[in-house]
Structure 1
Amino acid sequence: MRAEKRLPYKQGKTRNYWPTETPASRRNRLFETWRSIVTSLDGEVQGVSERLVLPPFDAAPWQLKAFEDMLDAVICAWVGICVFEGIAVPFGDDTSAIWIPRSELLASRRCQS
């Protein structure tokens, strides 16, 4: 998504992300972030938006956490595929790293499809 920093998508941290906003506004911003992530993922993995349907706005916290966990799982699987295909780069050291898909390599892969 070419974000400069980690996106605020953890439902348990909304108060930290947006401390001055109302609970309803925080939830709305969380859903906006989730919707954006799902839309972006759908451009990489066909059918994601059909399977990752956002919970109802008034869903219980455990339902939000369940959706967040599914979102995490799909992201991890997609990044794993990118690593396997050689279009992700590690950030870290020899003992620990996170892998980030490279935008320019993703774009060239899409053009080849």
Structure 2
Amino acid sequence: QPNDSILAVNLKSLSGIPTQLNLSQNYPNPFNPSTKIQYSIANSGNVKLDVYNIIGKHVLSLVNSYQTSGNYEVEFSTDALKNKLTSGIYIYTLKSNNYTISKKMVLMK
């Protein structure tokens, strides 16, 4: 059963005006226990940033809200998940205005 809880720590709006949807590689990567993900949305709208395990099962939602055009950074920590995430490869996916971008990240314990 997927964990549909929203877990967002330090969601920040960054300066600049983006011209397209963009998702940056998380840093640090590999990570333990926390990592930062930066993304840009050119057009205001509903934004979802979700994490999936390597077999495609939804693990958690980092962002699920309406956001204005801009550059953002979300930091999340696995500490809050009480060891529900194991070491391995995870896919994080940004969805906004019918566009989707995905990248891989590695959790090492």
TM-score by length of 1: 0.23
More helix by share: 1
TM-score by length of 2: 0.23
Structure whose alpha-carbon radius of gyration is higher: 1
Q: Which has the higher contact order (CA 8 A, sep 6+)?
A: 2
